[in-house]
């Protein structure tokens, strides 16, 4: 079974430039998450999708961040314009909650460096 | 405010040592406690705990949950250099919400 796929793996951009990340979840997983992980910290949720609906985007900085999951499968996360403080690893995860099980499976992440 | 706190933040041991990692949580409508191992980038799933006092075991790793005292521990016996990683715990709560701790960075020296 293929895992969660993310691209690109690394991205270096100058501040004020736009950037986009792509995620393809595990087949059949209807829940998709985007996390940001700063150095030395645990992942922090940015947005959670149930199928194509964003059910929790309370931590997404909506002035510059946007996300979509149009067909309820793969998803993109965009930052425009990027700021120096956006440098982090952006992780995508997916899950298929059933019978009370909520374990999430993570992709390899995208390391973003904003200069 | 919902929070998950891990301790210690970092730990250095030698091969063969036994380590205990701690995770305490305060969340609304707790559902489960998960442990992940993070090497390089993607966290990989280790355990999910939902009931108090029932030990989950996988090889040299084991974990237990105390829902009364709101904490969990992860034990690793006979540590190996390959155990070096960041160990994350996360609490799931409400309707599929999840909050991670900051992680414990374990370094196992030969």
Q: Quick one: DSSP state of residue A86?
A: G
- Whether residue A43 and residue B43 make contact (CB cut-off 8 A), yes or no, is yes
> Does B12 score more than 70 pLDDT?
yes
Chain B, nearest residue to A50 by Cα: B96
Q: Domain range for residue B39?
A: 3-109
> What is the pLDDT at residue A81?
96
A93/B33 Cα distance (integer angstroms): 17
- Kindly report the CATH number assigned to the domain that includes residue B105: 2.60.40.10
Q: Looking at domain A5-98, does it have CATH number 2.60.40.10?
A: yes
**Residue pair A102/A95 in contact by the 8 Å Cβ criterion:** yes
Residue A100 pLDDT > 60? no
Nearest Cα of chain A lies from the Cα of B101 at a distance, in angstroms, of 5
For the four alpha carbons of B12, B90, A27 and B56, in that order, the dihedral sign comes to positive
For the stretch B48-97, pLDDT in tens is 999 898 899 999 999 999 999 999 999 999 999 999 999 999 998 887 78
Considering only CB atoms, which chain A residues are within 8 Å of B103?
40-42
A98 — contact with chain B (CB < 8 Å)? no
Return the residue of B nearest to A57 by Cα: B97
Any chain A CB within 8 A of the CB of B35? no
A42 pLDDT more than 70: yes
Which residues from A are below 8 Å from B102, CB to CB? 40-42
Number of domains comprising chain B? 1
Please state, in angstroms and rounded to a whole number, the distance separating the CA atoms of residues A72 and A80.
23
Q: Where are the domains of chain A?
A: 5-98
Residue A98 confidence (pLDDT):
66
Return phi, psi of residue A11, to 5°: -150, 130
């Amino acid at each position: 079974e293929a895992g969660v796929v993310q691209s690109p793996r690394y991205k270096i951009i100058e501040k004020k430039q736009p950037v986009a990340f792509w995620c393809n979840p595990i087949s059949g997983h209807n829940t998709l998450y985007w996390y940001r992980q700063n150095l030395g910290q645990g992942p922090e949720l940015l947005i959670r999708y149930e199928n194509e609906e964003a059910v929790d985007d309370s931590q997404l900085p909506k002035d510059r961040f946007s996300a979509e999951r149009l067909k309820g499968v793969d998803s993109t996360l965009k930052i425009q314009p990027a700021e120096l403080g956006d440098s982090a690893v952006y992780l995508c995860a997916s899950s298929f909650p059933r019978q009370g099980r909520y374990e999430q499976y993570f992709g390899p992440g995208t390391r973003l460096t904003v200069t | 405010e919902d929070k998950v706190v891990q301790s210690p933040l970092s730990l250095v041991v030698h091969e063969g040592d036994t380590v205990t990692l701690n995770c305490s949580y305060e969340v609304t409508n707790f559902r489960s406690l998960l442990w992940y191992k993070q090497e390089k980038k993607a966290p990989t799933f280790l355990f999910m705990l939902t009931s108090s006092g029932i030990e989950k075991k996988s090889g040299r790793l084991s974990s237990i949950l105390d829902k009364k005292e709101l904490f969990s521990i992860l034990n690793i016996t006979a540590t190996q250099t390959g155990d070096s990683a960041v160990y994350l715990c996360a609490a799931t709560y409400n309707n599929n919400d999840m909050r991670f701790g900051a992680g414990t960075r374990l370094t196992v020296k030969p």
